[in-house]
Amino acid sequence: MTILMRATVVVTLLGPAAFGQDAPQPASGNMQGHVQLPGVRLWCVDTGGSGEAVIALHAATGSSQVWEHQIPALTRAGYRFIACDRRGYGRTVVEGGASAAPAAAADDVEQLAQALGLSKLHLIGTAAGGIVALDYALSFQSRLRTLVVANSIGGVQDPDYLEMGRRLRPSPQFEALPAEFRELGPSYRAENPDGVARWLALEHVSRVPGTAAPPQPMKNRITFAALESLAVPTLLITGDADLYTPPPVLRLFAARIKGSAMTLLPEAGHSAYWEQPERFNAAVLAFLRLH
């Protein structure tokens, strides 16, 4: 057991034996366990080490487990990779009951960074995690070395952008589609049935029955005008088969975030980190090294 203390926040990272024999085994050298933050015990995987820290924020169809293709690549490159289950996902435990007012997810990220003693960090967010990443950047951009937002609609609230979203994803028909149809591109579904099955298995266990948490509020009202204030080196990624964030949507973000870079992954859908991990990892690592 390793216990790190900063102010009144206690971090407890436990080995897998503490969670029973059915606990997933971490990669060699990884620590996993709960980080005690205000109102929540956040389940995290932390590769440790002295390298620059990378915090990764999962999609609404995942948990910290979905980064299994990124952890080896980034740790081999010398980075400390940290992935947590956001509130309502995986093994994270929300305290105080359903009536407790939830903190913003961006505040959870900041509390986590403080608890782990991180003065600077790289932040990666995919899909819904990308919305949290942008919200964090708008409030705490001085803490960021870089920002990577992949396959995310970004949470922008401009009326014309919301209307475009309704055209792209008509409700309720779109949400009625199977998760793997919405989230994985057709090329991947056609060519990699085993990968689809693994993605579905991780999606299935990302939400534990009876542990639902109230939706977390945003710290900021995200608009394209607000995004113009960002000065953090930013990489924007999407796949050209992404039903949520096709290339024209990504270009809207690139036009507003100063100096941002764009990467389009051919034949990838909404889960580029999973569908094309080699290309995704190469793009992220090249960007991190550049900055």
Kindly give the pairing relationship between strand 53-57 and strand 9-13. Answer: unpaired
N-term to C-term CA, the chain = 34
The pTM score is 0.89
Query: Which residues, 6+ apart, have CB-to-CB distance to 78 below 8 Å?
Result: 49, 51, 52
Helix (H, G, I), strand (E, B), or coil: what is residue 78? coil
pLDDT tens for each residue of 201-236:
999 999 877 666 678 999 999 999 999 999 999 999
Residue 9: exposed, middle, or buried by beta-carbon count in 10 A (0-12, 13-18, 19+)? middle
The pLDDT value given to residue 8: 28
**Alpha helices (H) in the chain, listed in sequence order:** 71-76, 105-115, 128-140, 159-168, 173-176, 179-183, 186-191, 193-205, 224-227, 247-256, 272-275, 277-290
Question: Please, which residues have CB within 8 angstroms of residue 97's CB and are 6 or more apart in sequence?
Answer: none
Angle between helices 159-168 and 247-256 (to 10 degrees): 160
Cα dihedral: 203, 206, 211, 217 (round 10) = -90
How far is Cα 165 from Cα 103, in angstroms, rounded to an integer?
Answer: 27
The DSSP output letter for 260 is -
Strand-pairing partners, residue 31, are: 46
Give the span between the Cα atoms of 67 and 56, in whole angstroms.
8
pLDDT below 50 — which residues of the chain?
1-28
Instruction: Give the type of residue at 167.
Output: R
Q: What is the pLDDT of residue 5?
A: 27
Domains of the chain: 11-16+27-290 (3.40.50.1820)
Q: Which is it for strands 121-126 and 53-57: parallel, antiparallel or unpaired? A: parallel
